[in-house]
Amino acid sequence: MWDIENTLFAEDYDIIAGVDEAGRGPLAGDVYAAAVILPKGLIIEGLNDSKKISEKKRDALYDIIKEKAVAWAVATASVDEIDEYNIRNATYMAMNRALSDLKTKIDYVLVDGDCIKNCAYPYSCVVKGDSKSASISAASILAKVTRDRYMLALAEEYPEYQFEKHKGYGTALHIEMLKKYGASPVHRKTFIKKFV
């Protein structure tokens, strides 16, 4: 998990931030992004792509990452921003906000997946980075856990949609509730046109 970072360390990039998002695909809720700087060579047992580990394991790793990280931040782009700028651009906004919120020197950024725009730092995009890079994997866990907890809070505010069961994703149950109750203020209007 440190091969990519070690290559960059050898090129004199000392402070490397990993960035990942959570919640690009759902029909409801903000999109989240996290940025994490880990101490060089830190081994966190079980660190992996957040989608490949259980919720219980993610929660445990979330606490360890926050405790051990040199710096970490989680940021969002709102449902309104998603509808106005589209999900791709809103995701870039959330990622850049997370990097900015680190409030520390950054030499290089590793971004999961298909990249980032308007990044203030040198960066590389790593396909499936959340299972190849310790920094990106840590960011994926912080983003995923924080967003899941946000969706649980929305479930209490809008119980009829049962967000606690699907976290806003377009499951059969969610679509059924959308058709029954219509859109809530936290639904992405551009995502639900064909259902409502």
Query: In this predicted model, what pLDDT tens digit does every residue of 69-117 receive, in sequence order?
Result: 999 999 999 999 999 999 999 999 999 999 999 989 999 999 999 789 9
Number of domains in the chain: 1
Pick out the chain residues at pLDDT < 70. none
Task: Give the single-character DSSP code of 191.
Answer: T
Structure tokens that stand for 184 in this block: 């809530």
Burial of residue 68, with CB atoms counted within 10 A of its CB: 0-12 exposed, 13-18 middle, 19 or more buried: middle
Nearest residue to 173 via CA among 162, 187, 164: 162
The pLDDT of residue 124 is 96
**CA dist 111 to 1, 87, 108, 135, Å?**
14, 16, 10, 9
Q: Phi and psi of 4, rounded to 5°? A: -65, -45
Query: Domain limits at 12?
Result: 3-148
Residue 123 forms part of a structural domain: yes
CA distance 161 to 174: 6
Question: 167 lies in a domain?
Answer: no
Please check whether residue 110 lies inside any domain of the structure. yes
Distance of CA 102 to the CA centre of its chain: 15
- Would you state the pLDDT for residue 18? 98
Q: Does residue 153 belong to any structural domain of this protein?
A: no
Asked, for residue 77, whether it belongs to a domain, the answer is yes
pLDDT of amino acid 114:
79
**Position 7 in a domain:** yes
CATH of residue 121: 3.30.420.10
The pTM score is: 0.95
Q: Which residues have CB under 8 Å from 165's CB, separation 6+?
A: 171, 173
Give domain status of residue 96, yes or no.
yes
